[in-house]
């Protein structure tokens, strides 16, 4: 007979890694090597000052998205509860260094012995080119997947299986670039009774479904 009272294995603490990655990304963009130098900022101010009010900069004109939407409201309740059985649809937003540019919401639950985790992340960048570069870096890092046609300007999906202490976990990641914004879905699951993981098809389809809804939420909240 299944029971949900057993504590989660220590291996699940690894699921918090997206939070660490987001925090590191926030540091890199605000304080790290990718942060703008005072000299560069001054030069840009001078350049902007020479432009007429009737001729805004190309970068400003082409910035489709100005802010990240509320991630915990980006998916339909029925989608959340179907992908993460037993979870409350409200979700939990992860603290961010800049909530205007980077926002993430997480859902996770253990129903019986079946565990699921879902993350939805939005990141808004200054230009389309910056988003393209970040997107390509992610695709290169997470090799072995494939393109997802008809989603954003470009989209990529990859599913991997890991085993720790004989327990399998299968995780799917979908990254979408839409103009100057990135949408990232992380979806994984395990069965702690059978020690097996959900099928690749289940995880991949679930992640792509969440990605489509998240991109729609991004487009609906477009500013500018």
Residue 8 lies in a domain: no
Residue 41 lies in a domain: yes
CA atoms within 13 A on the CB side of 200: 7
Residue 12 lies in a domain: no
Residue 32 lies in a domain: no
Residues 148, 208 contacting (CB under 8 angstroms): yes
Query: Which domain does 183 fall in, by range?
Result: 37-220
Question: Which residues are registered as beta bridge partners of 103?
Answer: 122
Query: Which of the two residues, 211 and 18, has the higher pLDDT score?
Result: 211
Residue 157 lies in a domain: yes
Question: What are phi and psi for residue 100, nearest 5 degrees?
Answer: -75, -35
Residues 109, 115 contacting (CB under 8 angstroms): yes
pLDDT at 30: 36
Residue 75 has pLDDT above 50, yes or no: yes
Mean pLDDT, rounded, for 136-160: 96
Model confidence band, residue 20 (pLDDT cutoffs 50, 70, 90)? very low
Residue 25 lies in a domain: no
Residue-averaged pLDDT of the chain: 80
Is the pTM higher than 0.75? The answer reads no
pLDDT at 62: 58
Is the C-alpha dihedral spanning 51, 56, 58, 59 positive or negative? positive
Residue 80 lies in a domain: yes
């Amino acid at each position: 007979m299944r029971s949900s009272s057993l504590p989660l294995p220590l291996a699940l603490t690894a699921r918090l890694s997206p939070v660490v990655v987001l925090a590191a990304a926030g540091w890199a963009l605000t304080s790290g090597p990718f942060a703008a130098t005072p000299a560069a900022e001054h030069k840009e101010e001078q350049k902007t000052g020479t432009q007429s009010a009737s001729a805004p900069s190309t970068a400003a004109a082409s910035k489709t998205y100005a802010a990240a939407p509320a991630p915990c409201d980006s998916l339909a309740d029925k989608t959340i509860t179907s992908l993460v059985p037993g979870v409350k649809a409200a979700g939990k937003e992860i603290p961010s260094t800049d909530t205007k540019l980077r926002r993430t919401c997480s859902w996770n639950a253990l129903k019986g012995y079946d565990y699921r985790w879902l993350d939805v992340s939005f990141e808004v960048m200054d230009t389309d080119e910056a988003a393209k570069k970040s997107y390509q870096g992610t695709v290169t890092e997470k090799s072995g997947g494939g393109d997802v046609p008809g989603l954003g300007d470009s989209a990529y999906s990859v599913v991997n299986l890991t085993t720790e202490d004989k327990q399998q976990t299968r995780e799917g990641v979908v990254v979408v670039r839409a103009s100057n914004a990135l949408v990232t879905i992380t979806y994984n699951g395990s069965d702690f009774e059978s020690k097996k993981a959900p099928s690749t098809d289940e995880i991949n389809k679930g992640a792509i479904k969440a990605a489509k809804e998240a991109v729609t939420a991004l487009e609906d909240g477009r500013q500018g």
